Amino acid sequence: MKHEFYLSLGSNMGERGAYISQALELLEMQKETLKLCKVSSFYETDPVGYLDQGAFLNIAVYGKTSLQPLELLAHTQSIENTLGRLRSVRWGPRVIDIDILLYNSIRMRTDDLVLPHPRMTERTFVLVPLVEIAPELRLPDDHYTIGERIQQVGKEGVRLWKTN
């Protein structure tokens, strides 16, 4: 497994922690093509964008895979579908959301996938869990580490929920 990736997982409906844990289990079921190497603590975060909804739980994950970026996207979307994700309101409530943040150090833009994930450096709910597992990580062509980015954005609206 030669490709590295980072994911952001979030949930704000029902048993939030259980949905994230189930998503992690489903990711790990693909042992021949995907391995999770680091998983952050769980963080409770205030909603962004659409504010009339409950708080989210968010985590970040680092892993390795033999899947190509669009194959990894298909796999994560399959997990979202399995767990009952419905796409009705942009940035709205969801049982599970799995975003690919980075895949190696590539930049790509398709109708379905943009890498690195746009807006990830603006979102504390992404940066706080990510800095826990990869503080020295740099985005492609970025002069700042994730640890330095969190200093620019701050940690407002993000609270440690439980360690993983």
Catalytic residue among 16, 97, 123, 149: 97
Are residues 48 and 153 in contact, defined by beta-carbon separation less than 8 angstroms?
Answer: no
pTM of the entire predicted model: 0.92
Catalytic-residue membership of 16: no
Catalytic residue among 16, 46, 52, 85: 85
Domains and CATH numbers, the chain: 3-162 (3.30.70.560)
Catalytic-residue membership of 90: no
What's the pLDDT score for residue 140?
83
The Cα-based distances of 135 to 41, 104, 122 in angstroms read 14, 16, 16
Cβ-based neighbour number of residue 24 at 10 Å: 19
Looking at 1-140, which runs of residues are DSSP E strands? Answer: 3-11, 34-39, 42-45, 56-65, 97-103, 108-109, 114-115
Catalytic residue among 46, 52, 87, 94: 94
Angle of helix 16-28 relative to helix 69-82, nearest 10 degrees?
A: 140
Q: What is the mean pLDDT of residues 38-46?
A: 95
What's the pLDDT score for residue 98?
96
Catalytic residue among 46, 52, 99, 112: 99
Statement: residue 43 has pLDDT above 60: yes
**89-145 tens-digit pLDDT:** 555 578 899 999 999 999 999 999 999 999 899 899 999 999 999 999 998 888 889
Phi, psi angle pair for 25, to nearest 5°:
-60, -45
Catalytic-residue membership of 94: yes
147 Cβ partners below 8 Å, 6+ apart?
131, 135, 136
What's the pLDDT score for residue 97?
92
Statement: residue 40 has pLDDT above 60: yes
